[in-house]
Amino acid sequence: MKRNIKNILLGCTLLIFMSSCVKENFDNTPEYVTELEANMSIADLKAKYANMPAMIDTDIVIKGVVISNDENGNFYKELFIQDESTGIGIELNSSRLHEKYPVGKMVFVKCKGLAIGLDYDVPKIGMTLGINAINRALIEDYLDVSTGGTPANPTLINLADAVGNKLDSLIGSFVRIENVKFKNPGSIYAQEGSAYTTLKLSDSLGKKIELSTSSHASFAKDTVPDGEVNIDAVLSKFSGKYQLRINSSSDVKPAAMP
């Protein structure tokens, strides 16, 4: 009887040891791993469904690195990703997206069953033809995250190209403009009570673009700088006008800085 009790105790000890080993190995496994492979570029997806809005009815997988960050409140329940061709927005009914989808993280999107369309003038993917947000419970059915990915380098744009819709192919992408000035230096990024505030920027030739900032942004009451600046931002469009949307006020730097 004593020998049986010892055997039982030994067996229990081994089980506890083995379960702890399994947990340790599980904890050391990368949190997000995917075996998905993209079979279409974002630019080709936009071209295929040029007559937006449309339901995506084929097994299309796109990938892109995250270029938007909702941590500072200038993006809300939306994610922008881009590949080598261009970028696109994704409407997601979830907040604090930066915790799972930080800037630079590679994201794969299984597009079948989703819709592609315009949110105002910005191409986005959503749940219905109205480009409603993907339900929180369904997000992981469509989005998968890879352990790969690095922050995207911004594409330098020329404000002369803002005339005649020449920048449309870059809407939803991470861009940079250089040597521009705010029309009203010293004003704040966003006025309280307005959903968004647009500030005018111009270059030395008088070419213009707007900076759009949410009143919920953590930097809304910061003042915009005087003098020439360089800006890294997601390129957007509203009512036919190109706009820039920054992740934080640190994306606006004096032009003298690298």
Q: Which one of 84, 116, 145 terminates a domain? A: 145
Token representation of residue 10: 């030994």
What pLDDT does residue 19 have?
Answer: 40
Q: The pTM is what?
A: 0.86
Give the per-residue pLDDT at 164.
83
Burial of 22 (0-12, 13-18, 19+ CB in 10 A): exposed
CA–CA distances in Å: residue 81 to residues 43, 104, 172, 187, 228: 12, 9, 8, 30, 28
Domain boundary among 145, 176, 201: 145
Same domain membership, residue 67 and residue 124:
yes
Name the maximum alpha-carbon separation found in the chain: 95
Do β-strands 122-126 and 208-214 pair in parallel, antiparallel, or remain unpaired? unpaired
The pLDDT assigned to 17 comes to 39
Count up the domains in the chain and report the number: 2
Range of the domain at 213: 155-254
Q: Domain check: are 241 and 162 in the same one?
A: yes
Q: CATH code at 58?
A: 2.40.50
What per-residue confidence (pLDDT) applies to 32?
52
Residue 184: CATH number of its domain: 2.40.50.140
pLDDT at 15: 41
122 and 61 in one domain?
yes
For the chain, 258 residues long, give each residue's pLDDT as a single digit of tens.
Answer: 444 444 444 444 444 434 444 333 323 334 455 778 999 999 999 999 999 999 999 999 999 999 999 999 999 999 999 999 999 999 999 999 999 999 999 999 999 999 999 999 999 999 999 999 999 999 999 999 998 789 999 999 999 998 889 999 999 999 999 999 999 999 999 999 899 999 999 999 999 999 999 999 999 999 999 999 999 999 999 999 999 999 999 999 999 865
Q: What is the pLDDT of residue 35?
A: 78
Do residues 139 and 147 lie in contact, with contact meaning Cβ atoms separated by under 8 Å? no
